[in-house]
Structure 1
Amino acid sequence: MIQMVGTGLLCGALLGFVLQRGRFCLTGGFRDLYLTKNTRMFNALLLAIAIQAVGVYALIHFDLLVYEAGTYSFVAVALGSFIFGIGIILAGGCATGTWYRVAEGLVGSWIALIFYMLTSAMMKTGAFKPIHDALQSMQVRDNSIARTFGVNVWVLIIFFIGVVALILVKEARKPKIFIPQLKPKKTGIAHILFEKRWSTYVTASLIGVIAILAWVFSEASGRMSGLGITTPSANIVQYAVTGDVQYINWGVFLVLGLLIGSYIAAKGSGEFRLRVPDPKTIVSSLCGGVLMGFGASLAGGCTIGNGLVQTAMFSWQGWISLGFIILGVWTATYFVFVRPTIKKTAQQPTVAQTN
């Protein structure tokens, strides 16, 4: 028990610290793919996936980890991920983004997180469970991409690494944009940890390494999985309501550690400040939290569980989910950001009209 608590909190704290200091926001990254065609954050996600895939499958190869892809429901994964993608735009952050923004003092994220956790619990064991079970019951035979095509998984990993390498080389050749830095107030390790601007790709690399550690720590505790946010978030609510200790596992301490690490990073960098949103943002955060909890539970994971972990395992669930999350983000982005701008521009008088 002590080992489970210690490793869970440690892994979560490392993840929270890195996410907060690296400003690793997949919601913004997926949104920017559509709005500005900026691929930097998406490329960083691919790097984190590649690092995790190599590390985890190496451990599996040497019989240090156990993994079975199992089956999945295409309908549940696709529909849930699309709904989740819409939700994270309304909430202003995905599951991990919401957790670390809570630690920064954003009250809107508090609201989103509360309703995300509540709805996730309702999907797992509450009023929405019949919907969850009905859609999840439509299982596809095999979740493994490698087995579907009859190839060794290392063929997929090597091919993927090659694609990521080409993307990063192309990215490195782009002209660098100079970003002016304020005069440092800290020195040494304190400057690096709390003040210096972190590289997106260094952040992604650290996340990939933490994701590998998560598999090791989690399986050592008896939880046969890697990083995950939705089910542990639901488990906190389920334990609070029932008092049943079966809901307390390594994942619960992971998300609690994430909160602690994010707070340390935000406080140390001077980014913690209580910020109360306007009524419109409160409503948007609430609705976003509900859609996040519903969608992620139905899909069997969020941007971390599916978009980072299951993709690294080369499961159909992971890659299908990632695609539909992005589609949901783009759909919501159009209605929340693009369409209002188009309507506003159309309503503005032209030069001829003003003359």
Structure 2
Amino acid sequence: MLLTGLALGAVLGFVMQRGRFCVTGMIRDIFTQKTWRGFNALLIVIAVHAVGLAVLSSAGIIDAQADTFAPLAVVIGGVIFGMGIILAGGCASGTWYRSGEGLVGSWIALFMYGVSAAAMKSGVLTGFSDAMKSWSFEATSVQASLGISVWWLAIPFAALVAGLTAYFLKQEKARPQMAQLAPKKQGLAHLLAEKPWHFYSTALIVGLLGVIAWPLSAATGRDSGLGITTPTSDTLRFLVSGDSERLNWGTLLVLGLLAGSFVAAKVSGEFRVRVPDATQSVRSVFGGLMMGVGASLAGGCTVGNGMVQTSLFGYQGWVALAFIAVGVWLGAKLWLKPAEFAVAGSEPELDDADPHGSSKVTVDFSRAPQGILDGGSGVLTAQRPVVTVDSSSSDATLASGLRVIEPGRYALDTLGAVCPFPLIEAKDAMKHLDSGEELVIDFDCTQATDAIPRWAAVDGHEVTNFEATGDAGWTISVKKG
């Protein structure tokens, strides 16, 4: 029965990779994109979970109980975890499936996540963890406090989410259609491994898999469903100590998630080993450490708390999710900053230092870029002074990753940048272009294949070209509307 964990994890990894399903982005977009569309996908998972677990519990198939609520640990842990996933570039499950896409930065974050989680659960930080959790409430869930059946919560919540989903789908239908890559495959292969999966259909599948996980896990003596933090810790401890008790259903679940995402990335042409720059490597280290500490304190990650405990209407789950959001907001404020482009208008200005009046453009690059590479050289620029470049040159570099291709046409190189930096940089660069001018964006972040064309459609820009440039590489040309 242990192998059911591997099988379900593989399906989950495939689905999450194809659906670009990451809770970090869902919460982050509330603050950075001012949209709740992605967060509604998480609500769909919770609603499906809630109804499914209520059915299984009512039938006596499982005994699903909310965890004990330790408020201090949950609040502090949630904030730490939320900030950590911003640094790492993905939530717990997102880090696993992006590792399957070949992102070395995710490998680093995943290892540090396992190290810090193991230290919190059975290592040098156990005392700290126990002390933080020493204050707890007897009440664990809303229905237990009110003395009512969980159905009184599950049905209204599911109805509310259904209404929100209908609203967002109607809103999406009313907007201009976003550009998509030209199909290279036909039939089922196109649907499974090429056509973008809708966020909401992906959420529905993830929710159903979460429900199925409970009886499969319970059959092996593990009275729980989906979980990432403890299995990640157990995986590392098994590899280090060889302790066979650590090789359990949960361990096989996360290993299956990695395998499934790898298969999905390979068949869709989205796998390529991508080595991060020094800055992102450091961020991955600290992000992974914060994820393990935060999730262990809070009693779970965006899966264990954000999907499972919330569906049980446990206080721990909803409070943790709220403070994970606070951590994401803080992390976004601190670290998700674009490079500053101050490009002269369409008519080149004369540089004061040039008395002969040669055609030049002055560029103010007064702040260090955050997460993009310098002109594709692979070196992250720490600081850039005011520079002057000849605008007549088709290869004139205006700023980190931004070049003049020809008058009115610019290239933005974000290769190597983790999401959401390609979108952040594109939006910021577009502010300095005039209407009708074009921005050509090169990127290799899989999530940006949805994020960038969606932004272009919503903001009224025209996509003039969108194509793959090889495995896990894309270029998109956006004309400012």
TM-score, with structure 2 as normaliser: 0.69
Q: How many angstroms does 1:246 deviate by?
A: 1.9
Q: Any residues of structure 2 matched to 1:97-108 within 5 Å, and which?
A: 97-108=94-105
**Aligned twin of 2:333:** 334
1:39 Cα shift? 1.1
Secondary structure of 1:189's aligned partner:
helix
In structure 2, list runs of 5 or more residues that go unmatched: 342-363, 368-384, 387-481
CA contact (8 A) 1:95 1:229 kept: yes
Deviation at 1:180, TM superposition (A): 2.4
- Relative distance call for 1:238 and 1:191 in structure 2 (3 A) is same
| Alpha-carbon separation, structure 2, partners of 1:162 and 1:74 | 29
Q: What letter matches 1:82 in structure 2? A: V
Q: What letter is aligned with 2:56?
A: L
Task: Give the structure 1 partner of residue 354 of structure 2.
Answer: none
CA offset digits 1:324-350 (Å, max 9, x no partner): 0011000110111259869x999899x
Rounded Cα–Cα distance in structure 1 between residues aligned with 2:176 and 2:218? 43
Displacement of 1:70 in angstroms is 4.6
Q: Is the 8 A contact 2:65 2:312 kept in 1?
A: no
CA shift digits 1:134-193 (9 cap, x unpaired): 111211111111111232211111221122122112112211331223332111111111
Q: CA deviation at 1:249?
A: 1.2
8 Å CA contact 1:81–1:296 kept in 2: the answer is yes
**Which residue of the other structure, out of 129, 148, 151, is the alignment partner of 2:126?**
129
- Distance in 2 between residues matched to 1:203 and 1:69, nearest whole Å: 25
Structure-2 change in CA distance of 1:315 and 1:187 (3 Å): same
What does residue 264 of structure 2 align with?
265
Give 2:219's aligned residue. Answer: 220
**Distance (Å, rounded) in 2 between the aligned partners of 1:231 and 1:212:** 19
Q: Secondary structure at the match of 1:141?
A: coil
Q: What SS does the aligned partner of 2:182 have?
A: coil
2:53–2:64 CA contact under 8 A, matched in 1: no
Aligned to 2:255: 256
Opposite residue 298 of structure 1, the aligned amino acid is L
Residues 13, 257 of structure 1: 8 Å contact kept: yes
- Aligned-partner residue type, residue 101 of structure 1: R
Separation in 2, partners of 1:71, 1:345: 51
Aligned to 2:293: 294
Partner of 1:83: 80
User: Are residue 229 (structure 1) and residue 228 (structure 2) matched?
Assistant: yes
Query: Aligned to 1:165, what secondary structure does the other structure show?
Result: helix
Aligned length: 345
1:85 and 1:345 map into 2 onto residues whose CA distance is: 30
Name the residue aligned to 1:73.
70
Q: Tell which has more relative contact order, 1 or 2 (C-alpha 8 A, sep 6+).
A: 1
Q: From the superposition, tell whether residues 261 and 129 of structure 1 become closer, same or farther in structure 2 (CA, over 3 Å).
A: same
1:32 maps to 29
Q: Percent identity?
A: 49
Query: Take 1:245 and 1:137, find their aligned partners in 2: how far apart are those partners?
Result: 30
Matches within 5 A, 1:7-46: 7-46=4-43
Higher-helix-fraction structure = 1
Matched, 1:111 2:108: yes
CA distance in 2 between partners of 1:236 and 1:197 (Å): 31
> How has the CA–CA distance of structure 1 residues 341 and 317 changed in structure 2, closer, same or farther, with 3 Å as cutoff?
farther
Q: 1:286 to 1:166 in 2, by over 3 A?
A: same
- Offset at residue 130 of structure 1 (A): 0.7
The one-letter code matched in structure 1 to 2:127 is P
From the superposition, tell whether residues 128 and 261 of structure 1 become closer, same or farther in structure 2 (CA, over 3 Å): same
- Counterpart in the other structure of 2:428: none
Q: Give distance in 2, aligned partners of 1:333 and 1:32.
A: 10
Q: Which stretch of the first structure deviates more once superposed, 125-134 or 331-340?
A: 331-340
Q: Is the 8 A contact 2:234 2:251 kept in 1?
A: yes
Cα separation, 1, equivalents of 2:67 and 2:106:
34
Q: What is the alpha-carbon distance in structure 1 between the residues aligned to residue 314 and residue 247 of structure 2?
A: 27
User: Which consecutive residues of structure 1, in runs of 5 or more, have no partner in the other structure?
Assistant: 350-355
- Max Rg structure: 2
Secondary structure, counterpart of 1:173 in structure 2? helix
Counterpart residue type for residue 101 of structure 2: E
SS at match of 1:178: coil
Contact kept, 8 Å, 2:67 with 2:314, in 1: the verdict is: no
Are the equivalent residues in 2 in contact too, given 1:69–1:142 (CA < 8 A)? no
Return the offset for 1:283: 0.4
Residue 71 of structure 1: SS of its match in structure 2?
coil
1:202-246, CA deviations, whole angstroms, 9 ceiling, x for partnerless residues?
000000000011111101111000000000000012222332222
* CA separation of 1:340 and 1:137: change in aligned 2, threshold 3 A: farther
What is the alpha-carbon distance in structure 1 between the residues aligned to residue 67 and residue 226 of structure 2? 18
Query: Structure 1 CA distance, aligned partners of 2:160 and 2:366?
Result: 42
State the match for 1:353 in structure 2: none
Partner SS for 2:197: coil
Counterpart code for 1:173: K
List per-residue Cα deviations over 1:37-83 (Å, max 9, x = no partner). 11111001101110111111101101111122252201111111110
Q: Is 1:303 aligned with 2:302?
A: yes
CA distance in 2, matches of 1:68, 1:198: 33
Alignment partner, residue 277 of structure 2: 278
